[in-house]
Amino acid sequence: MSATTGPKLSRRERLRAETTREITAIALRQMAAEGPGAISLRGIAREMGMTARAIYSYFPTRDDLVTALVAEVSASLADALERARDAAPATDPGARLLAWGLALREWALANPEGFRLVYGDPVPGYEAPAGGPAAEAARRVCCGLNRLVAEACAAGRTTSTNAANNANDAGNAEGFDWSDFPASYLDKIRADVDDLSPSVVALALRVWGRLHGLVTLEIYGHLGAVSTDPAALYRAEMLDLVGSLRSAPA
Amino acid sequence: MSATTGPKLSRRERLRAETTREITAIALRQMAAEGPGAISLRGIAREMGMTARAIYSYFPTRDDLVTALVAEVSASLADALERARDAAPATDPGARLLAWGLALREWALANPEGFRLVYGDPVPGYEAPAGGPAAEAARRVCCGLNRLVAEACAAGRTTSTNAANNANDAGNAEGFDWSDFPASYLDKIRADVDDLSPSVVALALRVWGRLHGLVTLEIYGHLGAVSTDPAALYRAEMLDLVGSLRSAPA
DNA sequence: TAGAAATAGGAAACGCCGTGTACTTTTGCG
DNA sequence: CGCAAAAGTACACGGCGTTTCCTATTTCTA
């Protein structure tokens, strides 16, 4: 996302950028190998043949490094999800949602430590900064899902003829209000989808919870003792979910 | 769970048990205050006016201490869930399941660090031991939910007269098999509920995922940017869930 | 009841960690 | 070329889990 931002970089700046990339690359490798908690400035410096203190020219504190890693990893997740979604036919919202959801689990299984970094305790005492590239990537995920859910709902509404008799299926008996969601989030969504209702926004978040729940349980090892085929479990959940969206709230 | 196991304790053993309790109590307090990552043998020893080395007579390594904490905290969670369930009328499976699910979120909000300890990365590089009291408490949670789901399904089957036309709602089109679940887990469940089918076991796990997902997102702060009322979101999810269980798989 | 064995606990050290201060080397520009 | 700025080093501080060695105290036994 940067290679084309102009060649007006002095030699120093180029070296600096390269060193920065090397630091994050080593950190990501250490994380993938030993978990997010194993990320250490000293370890990175050792591997680079530098003093630990040298890292501080690039990241003033370890949390800043972690922040950069979170941003990078969550952007890669968002990329993977959007790629999977776009691989499905644009005319079939259900298939797109299905692909998105399956890709979420597959990405998590392929990058379990990355998943822990983004969605778990990144590191003993880390507090994520409010705005920033990490938050932006998180919103990409959330808004992307919202759009898919909205599209699936809309498609269900136009094709399904018996939408009346099971209108209570999707659990929208509870009325949601625009005030149930931060304006900043709604603005972001509206950039993607016009036909929006509070119920759909709430539904998308609930869908997110369903996917996130099974993935989290699996990644953190809580499914191992109770299921021998988490993939089937996840797939069943996704099929149920996509199916139920055809009878969706207005 | 121990006060009645016989008074044949020597003075040494009594002191030892008391010190052990004091250690875990301080560790729990430290965890509640600063998070699971802040649990430190040295900190506990300092607070007890002892040398760090002294702790090693009680817990040979820090991970053993963490294991004990996980066991204690997850047992307290299981207690809370069973208490909430039993506060609802035994004749109304839906209400019992609802109470259980709401209690899960409430417990997590009241003990966020405990939730992280049990379901997240307990501590930088911690690996949970296979069998043990912690696993037992985890199974109490899982089996308890399974029983509730099974009961709710059974109730739905007997009362609902129009179960035929929405038989595909619960997403049980995918056939689950007994081999999809470890025998040890099935044995545990069968101790609680007789009328069992693979579909119901799978459904219970999916329900677990739904609840766990929203709670996890909220506890880890990922819902803050997208919802101003997570409680309403969770409640809607639970109501939808309980409602959909009335048209359940056989 | 006296002595032996087991045990709790203290002192100090090792090697990690993040971070701060002070100093030296390298680098690129005028 | 000369010199300021940037990059990097050396060292120190306090905290961490863990180990080794040693000393009291308590408990069991002859």
- What is chain B's mean pLDDT, rounded? 89
- Whether CB of A37 is under 7 Å from strand C: the answer is no
**Nearest-neighbour CA in chain A from B54: distance (Å):** 25
Task: Output the DSSP codes for A105-160.
Answer: HHHHHH-HHHHHHHHS--STT----SSSHHHHHHHHHHHHHHHHHHHHHHHHHHH-
Model confidence band, residue B235 (pLDDT cutoffs 50, 70, 90) = very high
Q: Compute how many other C-beta atoms are within 10 angstroms of the C-beta atom of residue A140.
A: 18
The architecture (CATH level 2) of A67-244 comes to Orthogonal Bundle (1.10)
Q: Which two tokens stand for residue B66?
A: 């963490």
Q: Which two tokens stand for residue A31?
A: 């994380």
Model confidence band, residue B5 (pLDDT cutoffs 50, 70, 90) = very low
The confidence score (pLDDT) of residue B161 equals: 53
Residue of A66 and A124 predicted with greater confidence: A66
Q: What is the CATH number of domain B66-244?
A: 1.10.357.10
**pLDDT at residue B81 greater than cutoff 70:** yes
| Integer Cα distance of A136 and A77 in angstroms | 12
**pLDDT at residue A7 greater than cutoff 70:** no
A197: chain B residues, CB-CB within 8 Å: none
Q: Which among A98, A162, A180, A210 is the top mutation candidate for probing chain B, defined by the most B β-carbons within 10 Å of its own β-carbon?
A: A210
CB spacing of A226 vs B125 below 8 angstroms: no
The confidence score (pLDDT) of residue A14 equals: 86
CB spacing of A226 vs B36 below 8 angstroms: no
Q: Compute how many other C-beta atoms are within 10 angstroms of the C-beta atom of residue A92.
A: 14
The confidence score (pLDDT) of residue B11 equals: 77
A244 touches chain B (CB under 8 A): yes
The confidence score (pLDDT) of residue B4 equals: 44
What is the domain partition of chain A in residue ranges? 1-60, 67-244
Tell me the pLDDT tens digit for each residue of A124-146: 778 888 777 778 888 899 999 99
The confidence score (pLDDT) of residue B207 equals: 98
ipTM: 0.91
DSSP A167: T
The confidence score (pLDDT) of residue A169 equals: 47
E strand or H helix at A86, and its extent? Answer: helix A62-87
- Whether CB of A33 is under 7 Å from strand C: the answer is no
Which fold does the domain B1-60 belong to in CATH?
Arc Repressor Mutant, subunit A (1.10.10)
Tell me the pLDDT tens digit for each residue of B119-135: 998 777 788 887 777 78
By CB atoms closer than 10 A (0-12, 13-18, 19+), residue A34 is: middle
The confidence score (pLDDT) of residue A8 equals: 61
pLDDT-wise least confident of A90-94, B12-16, B173-177, B243-247? B173-177
Interface of A with B in 195-224 (CB under 8 A): 202, 205-206, 208-214, 216-217, 220-223
The confidence score (pLDDT) of residue B248 equals: 66
State how far the alpha carbon of A193 is from the alpha carbons of A136, A146, B153, in Å.
Answer: 18, 9, 37
- Domains A1-60 and A67-244 are alike in CATH topology: no
- Rounded to an integer, the average pLDDT of B5-15 is 70
Tell me the pLDDT tens digit for each residue of B197-210: 999 999 999 999 99
- Rounded to an integer, the average pLDDT of A193-210 is 95
